[in-house]
Structures are given as C-alpha cells and as structure tokens.
Amino acid sequence: MIDESEFRRVIGHFATGVSVVTSCRGDGAACGLTVSAVSALSLDPTLVLVCVSHGSETHGWIREAGYYAVNVLEEGKGETLARRFAGGGGEEKFRGTAWRPERTGAPVLDESLAWLDCRVSAALEGGDHTIFVGEVLAADAREGTPLLYYRGGYGRFES
Ligand SMILES: Cc1cc2nc3c(=O)[nH]c(=O)nc-3n(C[C@H](O)[C@H](O)[C@H](O)COP(=O)(O)O)c2cc1C
C-alpha cells in the first residue's frame, strides 16, 4: 500500500473533466458537490457511475432520493461553480445559479456544458466512497469547451 499523499500525487496525473453532481434533500432543497470521479459504464443499458465520499453531505441525500444529475462544467464560469460546489454551504451553493428539475427531479444547472439525469440503479461500496451507478433517463449537451482538472489545477482543452 502507498500512502494517501503519494496516491493523490500519482493519480492527479490522470486528467479529468469536472462535474457538479446534484440531487435533492429530504425537504426538497437542491444539493450537490464537485466530482471528477465520473465514468461512462454501459451502453445497453445506458449507465454512468459517480464516486461520492462517505464524508460528503450530498452522499446521504443521493442515497435517499435515489437520483442524481451529472452536470459537466465548461471552462471559465464552470471553474467558479467547481470551486463553490467543492466547499461547504449547503443550499448557498446554488445562490445566483439558475437550474431546473429534470425528469427525475434532479437539478440541472443552466450553465452545464452537458448533463445526464440518472436514477440510481446500484450503490456499491468502494473504501471510503460509494459508487452510485445511474441509469441515464435524459441527457443533453451543447457546444463549448470543457473545464479540465490536472495535478490539482484547473485547465482547458486545446485542439
Ligand atoms: C476538482 C475536484 C474534484 C472532486 N471530485 C470528487 C469526487 O469525485 N468525489 C467526491 O466525493 N468528492 C470530490 N471532490 C470533493 C467534494 O467536492 C467536496 O468534498 C465537497 O465539499 C462535498 O460537498 P458536500 O459535503 O456539500 O456534499 C472534488 C473536489 C474538487 C475540487
């Protein structure tokens, strides 16, 4: 086993996109967190997975609601969202950010570059995270440049 800081240093070389995974609390309020651990899982059926820390406030709400949305962030304004949703603040995270409930009820942010609305079909334990497997019920995307995350910093894709 290697130690956590070494693991973070090495795995940080795997560049990812950045998303905000949203759901709803028991009182109906929107909740969410910044997530880089997102992956396509299956084409038939269409499944995606997200890995959410047991320590995250949103974790319990996703489990309870049984749905979530993956909001893929764009460079520029998306970085502000990524920083905000990676901090504390509960409902405050959504202040000044337009969103709508999608088919499952999960909040989809107007500023998303792409989004996937998912019903949880499995919750698998993986160490200190839960892997939420989501069946994709609705999704869309628009033109734009994605926000990237690499070695602890934000960046943009250039072709
Ligand atoms: C770029 C970036 C990627 C992150 N990826 C994840 C992730 O994949 N899973 C996770 O549980 N937390 C991830 N986090 C940390 C959460 O966003 C952070 O712990 C957040 O405060 C949790 O919010 P909550 O407690 O309101 O749910 C990431 C943070 C950043 C900045």
Instruction: Collect all residues with Cβ–Cβ distance below 8 Å to 53 and sequence separation of at least 6.
Output: 59, 128, 129
Residues 6+ apart with CB under 8 A from 35: 18, 19, 20, 21, 50, 51, 52, 70
Between the CA of 130 and the centroid of ligand 1 the distance, in Å, is 13
| Cα–ligand 1 centroid distance for 159 (angstroms) | 28
Residue pLDDT, tens place only, 108-155: 999 999 999 999 999 999 999 999 999 999 999 999 999 999 999 999
Would you say 145 and 159 are in contact if contact means Cβ atoms under 8 Å apart?
A: no
pTM for the model stands at 0.98
148 CA distance to ligand 1 middle (Å): 15
Q: Give pLDDT tens digits for 56-96.
A: 999 999 999 999 999 999 999 999 999 999 998 888 999 99
Mean pLDDT rounded to a whole number for the chain: 97
Residue 89 confidence (pLDDT) = 84
Q: In sequence order, what DSSP letters do the residues of 7-62 get, joined into one string?
A: HHHHHTTS-EE-EEEEEE-TTS-EEEEEE--EEEEETTTTEEEEEEETT-HHHHHH
CATH code given to domain 4-36+60-117+140-156: 2.30.110.10
Ligand 1 atom with the smallest distance to the CA of 93 is 26
Pairing of strands 67-72, 19-24: antiparallel
Q: State whether the Cα torsion 139-142-147-150 is positive or negative.
A: positive
* Ligand 1 probe mutation, 7, 14, 22, 33, most atoms within 8 A of CB: 33
Angle at 157 between CA 153 and CA 159, to 5 degrees: 150
Q: How many angstroms does the Cα of residue 7 sit away from the middle of ligand 1?
A: 17
Q: Which of 8, 19, 34 has most ligand 1 atoms within 8 Å of CB, for mutation?
A: 34
Q: What DSSP state is assigned to residue 113?
A: S
Using CB distances shorter than 6 Å, the residues near ligand 1 are: 18, 33-37, 51-53, 56-58, 82, 85-87, 149
Q: Other CB atoms closer than 10 Å to residue 60's CB: what's the count?
A: 16
H or E segment and range at residue 64: helix 57-65
Residue 14 has pLDDT above 90, yes or no: yes
Using the mean position of ligand 1's atoms as its centre, give its distance from the Cα of residue 37 in Å. Answer: 9
> Dmax over Cα atoms in the chain, in whole Å?
44
Domain ranges for the chain, please list them. 4-36+60-117+140-156
User: Side-chain half-sphere of 106: how many Cα atoms within 13 Å?
Assistant: 31
pLDDT of residue 155: 96
Q: State the amino acid at position 117 in one-letter form.
A: D
